[in-house]
Amino acid sequence: MRRNKMPGFEELQKPLPWHSPRGWYFALVSLFLRTAGQLSDGIRTGYRYGFDSGMIMNYVYRNSPRGRLYIGRKLDEGFLNQITCRAFRAVKEIQKNMILKYLAERAGRETLIADLASGEADYLYDALRQTGPEVRAHLRDISEAALARSERTAGRLGLTDRVSFGRGDALDAENLRGISGSPDLVIEVGLYGIIHDDALIRKHFSQLKDILNPGALLFNVQTYNPQIELIARVLRNQDGERCVWHLRPVEQVVGWAEEAGFRNPKITFDPYGIYAVVMMRN
């Protein structure tokens, strides 16, 4: 697959000069999305909660265009058909299948899954529905709104006795120490791309090993995205700032995990080559 050259992370962090034609283009796109784009439920959700939030991820997963009037639904359809959104949905299926394969290997043994940046945890609920009561999940997220929606989903699916919840920052060591039980599988998806500091992620892998010591670790890495500059120049994150995502080679992130003691990486890319989904063992 031929890949176009993309601006680097450091370049994306800097604003474009006022006289840049690209800057004018992105300003017009931003104006459109903040006005007419609000007719789309998906675009409106992104601006409300952040385009890096669990709320928008689960909206994309559902892939059901909604909006105000006919034009709003058409705008939403266009939004959900963007290559980044299609990659999100492909990654969801890859993650779900990796979880199910891991659970099949355990052959009915009691299993605790800890998802440390869960959002609504759509893919994990799909997996839980295909397994028995021996599989339990603990979901944590920094967003109270995402956890509240997730708890409602657990109730609707009849899974409240198998799922527990807690609010916390996945990268905070004290938050990790507050997790009761010993997770067999730790999940961190959609997390590393919004963390700008390499050293923080590298340290986090060591903390996961030392504090939780899970039998397996599932994460994803955004390695490429032809829309990365559009996202950085136009969209907003959970803090209301520019949504600058940090692309990294999957080999780099796997190397940090191996330094911490995780091993045997199994890597699967989505069909668009945007995300690598990685399962590693302890």
Q: What would the pLDDT profile of 90-103 be if each residue is shown by its tens digit?
A: 999 999 999 999 99
The HSE-up count of residue 270 (CA atoms within 13 Å, CB side) is 25
pLDDT, residue 225, reads 94
**What are the pLDDT digits (tens) for 155-180?**
999 999 999 998 989 899 998 998 88
Distance CA 235, CA 238 (A): 10
Q: How far is CA 114 from CA 10, 148, 155, 222, in A?
A: 33, 17, 19, 21
Domains of the chain in start order, with CATH, are 20-84 (no CATH), 89-281 (3.40.50.150)
- Each residue's pLDDT, cut to its tens digit, for the chain (282 residues) gives 456 677 888 888 899 888 899 999 999 999 999 999 999 999 999 999 999 888 888 899 889 999 999 999 999 999 999 999 999 999 999 999 999 999 999 888 999 999 998 887 778 888 898 888 999 999 998 888 888 888 998 999 999 999 999 898 989 999 899 888 889 999 999 889 889 999 999 999 999 999 999 999 999 999 999 999 999 999 999 889 999 999 999 999 999 999 999 999 999 999 999 999 999 998
**β-strand partners of 263:** 281
Q: Give tens-digit pLDDT for 61-79.
A: 889 999 999 999 999 999 9
Kindly state the tokens that stand for 165: 């919840």
